[in-house]
Amino acid sequence: MSLHLQRDLDKLKKEILKLGNMVEVSINNAILALNNREKTYVHEVFANEELINEMEVKVEEDCLKILALHQPVAVDLRFLVVVLKVNNDLERMGDIAKNIAKRASELMEADPIPELNLVIQGLPEMIKTMVRNSLDALIKLDDQLAREIIDMDDKVDDINKEMYLAIKKAVRENPGLTDVAINLLATSRYMERIGDLSTNIAEDVIFMVEGKVIRHAE
């Protein structure tokens, strides 16, 4: 590998990590808005979205420049392919964080529903862990950590299913809760989607380390 290619790859690693950190902050702020019912966190998520979009474009441009200038092969080519995919997944997480913040803002206008909040309460921390660990796995090329993230996704799905059943029951018993319940269900599904995207990153890490695609594998 040439020194110029190594330098550009090292720069790219720093950029994708920076983007990941920005997205992680947005997700954390969206969850804080949801849990603390505080508008300040909503504004921070909205302000950060444009910066995330700008960084996503920069990472993509730099990936394409490296491909054009250095024509990398083998593990370096796999790394660039993965960065392009992860870059897109992180940008989508940023969009979802904004959606959670929007729902949180609407939920602030109504009284909370304790029994539903109890169902969803374990989900935010689990999602934050998946995002953080997926970035760690990417930077450290840790395929074992990546597999742990994939295993966590089943737990996230279970919580989301439980949330759906709880909301269905609550609305049936008290139709006046419908609007709040719909917002909570949407929030739960948004967090599940972040879990899915974290799982995508974990699967891409395994591809980069082991050279095999495990997505859709039985």
Each residue's pLDDT tens digit, 183-207:
989 999 999 999 999 999 999 999 8
Most confident segment among 88-102, 124-138, 166-180: 88-102
Distance CA 64, CA 67 (A): 5
The three-state secondary structure class of 134 is helix
First to last CA, the chain: 36
**Per-residue confidence (pLDDT) for residue 137, from 0 to 100:** 93
The stretch 122-150 carries a mean pLDDT of 92
> Which H/E stretch holds residue 71?
none
State the pLDDT confidence band at 59, using cuts at 50, 70 and 90: very high
The stretch 2-21 carries a mean pLDDT of 91
Please say if the pLDDT value at position 218 is more than 60: no
> Which H/E stretch holds residue 187?
helix 178-210
Mean pLDDT score across all residues of the chain: 90
State the pLDDT confidence band at 12, using cuts at 50, 70 and 90: very high
Q: Domain ranges in the chain?
A: 3-210
**Per-residue confidence (pLDDT) for residue 216, from 0 to 100:** 59
**Per-residue confidence (pLDDT) for residue 86, from 0 to 100:** 95
The stretch 107-132 carries a mean pLDDT of 83
The stretch 173-192 carries a mean pLDDT of 91
Q: Is the dihedral of CA 161, 164, 169, 172 positive or negative?
A: negative
* Predicted model pTM: 0.90
**Per-residue confidence (pLDDT) for residue 143, from 0 to 100:** 93
Tell me the fold of 3-210: Methane Monooxygenase Hydroxylase; Chain G, domain 1 (1.20.58)
Distance CA 159, CA 188 (A): 8
**Per-residue confidence (pLDDT) for residue 211, from 0 to 100:** 77
Please say if the pLDDT value at position 100 is more than 80: yes
